[in-house]
Structure 1
Amino acid sequence: MKYQVIHITDYIYKFPATLCHNLMFQIPQDSEFQYVEKYVCEITPKPSSEVERVDFFGNRYLYFAVERSHKKLTVTSQSILELHSPSWIKVNPKLTKPWEQVVSWLHSTNAPNEIRQYYLESKHVTFIEGIREYALKSFTPGRPIMEAMEDLNSRIFKDFAFTPGFTDISTPLEKVFDHKKGVCQDFAHFSLACLRILGLAARYVSGYIETLPPPGKPKLIGSDASHAWIAIYIPDHGWVEFDATNNLLVNNKHLRVAVGRDFADVTPLKGIVYSGSEQEMKVSVDVTKLEEESVL
C-alpha cells in the first residue's frame, strides 16, 4: 500500500503575534513495515531558526521559531509512505504467553529498561477507579496475552461511542469512562490505562488512517484527521499494535508518525506564542491511496 498524506495546520491570531517557538511531531520514519519515500515541510512565514532533532522515544521532530510579526502561521507537512503488513498479523493469539507471565517478566531484571516507562502512569493515562475491574473482564486468569488484548479492544469498540466534540485533550479519563464517549485519543488513553494498571507495557502511537466516504459519495478534501492507537509489548513479537476506535489489529493501512507514553509526548504541533489576544487553530488532513508513482 502506498499513501500520500497532506497535513495543514493554520494558527490565526486576532492581533499580530511577535514571536513563537514551536515543536512539531509530524515527521514519519522508516520501520520494519513502513518506508518513507518522501517528506517535505513548508512553514509560512519562514522561520528565523529551524532544527530537526530526535527525542527520547526515537521520534524525529522539528523545532522552529518565528521572530517577526505575523497574524497567521501555516505549517504544511507532506509525505509519501509505503506500507507493508507487519509480522504480528501472522501470530496466532492463542499461542502467545499467558498475560500474568508477561507481567512477571516485565517487572524482572530480564526486561529491557526502556520498556519499564510504559507500564507506569503518565499525564493522560491515570489509574482511575473501576478501570482494573474493566480490564480484568478480558484479562482472565491464564489467558494468552494477545487473545486477551483482542477481547479488550473489541469491548472498548462496542462499549464506547465515537463522539467528536464531546472531549478535548484536557478532558479527564474519568469523564470518558463514565459517559463511554470520546474520540481516538481518548480510546487510546483508556486502553493504555487498562493495560498499565495490570502491569503490562503499552505505548501511544500517533499517525493517520484513511477515512472512506459513504458509498456513492465523493471524498471531501481535508476530511481525514490525525489518528491514535496503541501498541502492547508481547515477548517474542515486540510491539503489537491495536486500534480500539476501529476494532482492528493494525495492518497496512495505519501510517505511523510517533510513539510515546501518551498524547503529551507526541502532540502534532505545540508551542509558545507572544500575542495580545486569542487565536484560532484550523487543521486539515488528507490521506490518499496512490495507485501509481506520485511526486510532491
Structure 2
Amino acid sequence: MLLEIIHDTHYSYDPNVEIAQHFAHLKPTSLNSQQVLESEVAINPKPAWSEENLDNYGNICTFFSLQNRHSELLISAKSIVQTSNIALVGSKPAETPAWELVREYFRYHSKTKWDPASEFLFSSPFINLRPEFAEFARANFTTGRPILEAAIDLTQRIYGEFHYVSKSTDIGTPAIEALNKREGVCQDFAHILISALRSLGLPAKYISGYILTNPPPGQARLIGGDASHAWVSIYIPSVDENGLLHGGLWCDLDPTNNRWGYGSPGEDYIHLAQGRDYADVSPIRGVIHGGSDHTLDVAVTVRPIER
C-alpha cells in the first residue's frame, strides 16, 4: 500500500518567542514492513541551524534552532511510504515459549548474557512498575501459557473492557489512573499494556506512528482529520532444539484496534518512532524564551496514493 502522510504542527505565541531550540520525531525510517520513498520536514520561520541524527532507538531526530523573534511556528512533515502486509514471519502464538521462561531469561543473575531487549524491562518517564499492573495482567498470563498467546489475549481484553474517550486524558495522566477509569486514548492504552507487561518482567516498547482511517460510506476523506497513533511491541525470544531461549522477534500489539502482527499490525500502519514510552518519541519538544501564552494546532492526514 502506498501512503502519503502529512503532519502539520502550528504554534501561535503571545508575546513573541525570542529564541528557541526544538527536537522533532517526524520522519519515518525504512523497516521490513515499510519502505520510505520520500520524507521532508519544512519549518517556518527558517531555522538558523538544523541537523538530523539517529537516536539510540534508530529513530530519525530533527534538531533546529530559531534565533530570531517570532509569533508563530509552523512545522510541516510530509512522507510517502510503501507499506507491506508481509512484515516478519514468527512463531504462531500457541508455539511461543511460556511467559515464565521469558521472564526468567531476562531476570538478572551472574554471567547473564546481554540481550538488547533488556532495556525495555524497566521503569521509564511514563511507565511505573506497580503490583496493580501485574495483578491486572494475571488473568491472561496464567501458569505455563505461551507468551504471545497471553499478550494477544491481554490486548483483546483492553480493547473489550476499556472505552476510547477523546480528550478524556492528557499527556500528564498517569497510566494507573487510566487503568482505574478503564478509559482513555491510544497513548493511555499503550502505556497500560507496556506497564502490565514490564510489571511481569517482560520487555515491551512504545511505538508511535499513523494508521489509515476509512471515512464512512459516501463521505469524503477529511484533510487534517486523522491523528497520530500509538501501540506496543513485545519481545518474543526463539527456542532452540535444547529448549534454550535466544534472540527473537518483536511483535506489535494494538490494544486500541485489536490488531497484532510481527513487525507491524498491518499494511495500513506507518511506524514513525519507537522508545521506552511517549517521552522518547514525542513528535516535537523543546525550550523557548518568551511566548508565555501559546496555542497549538495539529492536523494529520493519511491517504492512499493511486499508482
8 Å CA contact retained: 1:89, 1:251: no
**Alpha-carbon distance change, 107 to 243 in structure 1, aligned in 2, over 3 angstroms:** same
Partner of 1:44 in structure 2? 44
- What is the CA-CA distance between 1:174 and the residue it aligns to? 2.1
How far does residue 56 in structure 1 lie from its aligned partner after superposition? Answer: 1.4
Deviation of residue 119 (structure 1)? Answer: 0.9
Residue identity matched to 2:305? L
Q: CA deviation at 1:133?
A: 1.2
Change (3 A) 1:276 1:144: closer
In 2, Cα distance between the equivalents of 1:46 and 1:179? 44
Provide TM-score, normalisation by structure 2. 0.92
2: CA distance between counterparts of 1:110 and 1:80?
A: 42
Would the aligned equivalents of 2:3 and 2:304 in 1 still touch at CA under 8 Å? yes
Corresponding residue for residue 291 of structure 1: 306
Structure 1 residue 213 displacement after superposition: 1.6
Give the Cα separation in 1 of the matches to 2:305 and 2:200: 41
What do residues 198-220 of structure 1 show as CA deviations (whole Å, max 9, x unaligned)?
10000000110012222222221
| Alignment-derived partner of residue 247 in structure 1 | 258
| 1:78 is the counterpart of 2:93 | no
Look up the equivalent residue of 2:63 and give its one-letter code: Y
Alignment of 1:204-283 (within 5 A): 204-236=206-238, 237-249=248-260, 250-283=265-298
TM-score normalized by the length of structure 1: 0.95
Q: Is the 8 Å Cα contact of residues 98 and 145 (structure 2) preserved in structure 1?
A: yes
Deviations 1:210-265 (A, max 9, x none): 12222222221101111110100001341110100001011221101111000000
Q: Give ranges in structure 1 of 5+ residues lacking alignment.
A: none
* Paired amino acid for 1:211: T
- Find out whether 1:30 has 2:30 as its counterpart: yes
Query: Compared with structure 1, are the counterparts of its residues 97 and 265 closer, same or farther at alpha carbon in structure 2 (3 Å cutoff)?
Result: same
| Contact 1:105-1:111 within 8 A present in 2 as well | no
Displacement of 1:180: 0.8
Counterparts in 2 of 1:111 and 1:81: CA distance versus 1, 3 Å: farther
Q: 1-side partners of 2:117 and 2:107: how far apart? A: 10
Matched, 1:133 2:135: yes
CA distance in 1 between partners of 2:301 and 2:25 (Å): 17
TM-superposed CA distance for 1:157, in Å, is 0.5
Looking at structure 2, the residues matched to 276 and 234 of structure 1 have their Cα atoms a distance apart, in angstroms, of: 46
Show the counterpart of 1:191.
193
The alpha-carbon distance between structure 1 residues 146 and 113, as it changes in their structure 2 partners (threshold 3 A), is closer
SS at match of 1:61: strand
Which one-letter code corresponds to 2:171 in the other structure? I
- CA deviation string 1:105-140 (max 9, x = no partner): 122556544211201111111124521111011111
Task: Look up the SS of the partner of 2:135 in the other structure.
Answer: helix
Task: List gaps (5 residues or longer) in structure 2.
Answer: 239-247
Distance in structure 2 (CA, Å) of the matches to 1:262 and 1:111: 25
Contact 1:99 1:139 in 2 (8 A): yes
Task: Quote the residue 1:7 is aligned against.
Answer: 7
For 1:3 and 1:279, locate their aligned partners in 2 and report how far apart those are by CA, in whole Å: 32
How well do the aligned residues superpose, as a CA RMSD in angstroms? 1.4
Partner of 2:104: 104
Whichever residue aligns with residue 240 of structure 1, its letter is C
Is 1:182 aligned to residue 197 of structure 2? Answer: no
1:95 aligns with 2:105: no
Contact 1:203-1:261 within 8 A present in 2 as well: yes
Aligned to 1:147: 149
Identity rate, percent = 36
Q: Distance in 2 between matches of 1:216 and 1:90?
A: 39
Give the C-alpha shift of residue 143 in structure 1: 0.6
SS of aligned partner of 1:5: strand
- Number of aligned residue pairs: 292
Point out 4+ residue stretches in structure 1 off by more than 6 angstroms: none
